[in-house]
């Protein structure tokens, strides 16, 4: 009987810890999304060019790949997350401005992509949280898939291949959906206990999902 209580106590502590990670992750994710929206708005209002936007995006990748992993377990990690998301948001400003200028229904495309991203994120998160399925088997597949899609995206831009860009956008929608399921499942099952890393993974998934949806919508429903 005593052992039962000990086991239940440990299980209860595990659930509490998981709930704390989920709460902190969603709180930080909300704040970073708001911060990105502000920096994107500033970039749009200041009419920042694509060059500056691209430099911000490259800088954010440098922070994300090489700096954040070293500080993920320290308080400074939160500041770096805001640095990464702020820079990515700033880089997004000129891209959104271009869609608004090039397409007569640009505002509708941007809002549809934004709403679609929100619905997909909420739906997939709810699915992972309620079914409690373990999607840890997706880890290796997602890593390789994202690397291939990332390289494909760069090749599509460098060699001006619009069809390849569309295929990559489609791939990213599926891969980022898988990423949301994987990351949420990792938090639930205790595979991810660091809310800073969980937040940045979900943020990157949302960022790529939004951009990919926007590109698909513009390609199939954009009116010039």
Partner 1 sequence: MNDALPMWTQIAMGALALIALFYFGPKAGQAVKQSPKGSASDWMGLLLPIGAVVLFVILLIALARG
State the residues that interact with partner 1 by CB under 8 A: 51, 54, 58, 61, 65, 105, 108-109, 112, 116, 119-120, 123-124, 127, 131, 133-141, 143-144, 147, 150-151, 154-155, 157-160, 173-174, 177-178, 181, 213, 216-217, 220-221
| 8 A C-beta contact, residue 80 and residue 62 | no
Q: From the CB of 115, what's the least distance to partner 1, in Å?
A: 8
When the beta carbons of 16 and 122 are compared against partner 1, the nearer one is 122
Between helix 195-221 and helix 106-131 the angle, nearest 10°, is: 140
When the beta carbons of 38 and 65 are compared against partner 1, the nearer one is 65
Distance of alpha carbon 211 from alpha carbon 217, whole angstroms:
10
62: nearest Cα among 38, 37, 54: 54
When the beta carbons of 28 and 209 are compared against partner 1, the nearer one is 209
Residue 192's region, left for phi above 0, alpha for psi from -120 to 50, else beta, is beta
Q: From the CB of 112, what's the least distance to partner 1, in Å?
A: 5
Q: From the CB of 141, what's the least distance to partner 1, in Å?
A: 7
When the beta carbons of 28 and 117 are compared against partner 1, the nearer one is 117
Between helix 195-221 and helix 2-45 the angle, nearest 10°, is: 50
Q: From the CB of 80, what's the least distance to partner 1, in Å?
A: 18
41: nearest Cα among 99, 86, 106: 86
């Amino acid at each position: 009987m005593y052992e039962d209580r000990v086991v239940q106590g440990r299980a209860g502590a595990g659930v509490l810890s998981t709930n704390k990670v989920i709460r902190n992750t969603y709180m930080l994710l909300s704040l970073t999304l708001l911060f990105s929206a502000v920096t994107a708005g500033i970039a749009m209002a200041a009419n920042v060019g694509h060059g500056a936007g691209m430099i911000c995006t490259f800088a954010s990748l440098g922070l994300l790949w090489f700096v954040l992993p070293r500080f993920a377990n320290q308080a400074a990690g939160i500041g770096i997350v805001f640095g990464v998301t702020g820079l990515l948001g700033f880089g997004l400003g000129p891209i959104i401005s271009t869609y608004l200028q090039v397409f007569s229904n640009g505002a509708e495309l941007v809002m549809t992509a934004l709403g679609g991203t929100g619905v997909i994120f909420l739906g997939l998160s709810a699915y992972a949280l309620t079914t409690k399925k373990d999607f840890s088997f997706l880890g290796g597949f997602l890593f390789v898939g994202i690397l291939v899609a990332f390289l494909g995206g760069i090749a599509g831009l460098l060699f001006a291949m619009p069809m390849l860009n569309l295929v990559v956008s489609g791939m990213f929608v599926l891969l980022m959906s898988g990423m949301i399921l994987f990351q949420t499942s990792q938090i639930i099952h205790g595979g991810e206990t660091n809310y800073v890393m969980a937040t940045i993974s979900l943020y990157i998934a949302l960022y790529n999902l939004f951009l990919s949806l926007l590109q698909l919508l513009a390609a199939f429903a954009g009116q010039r």
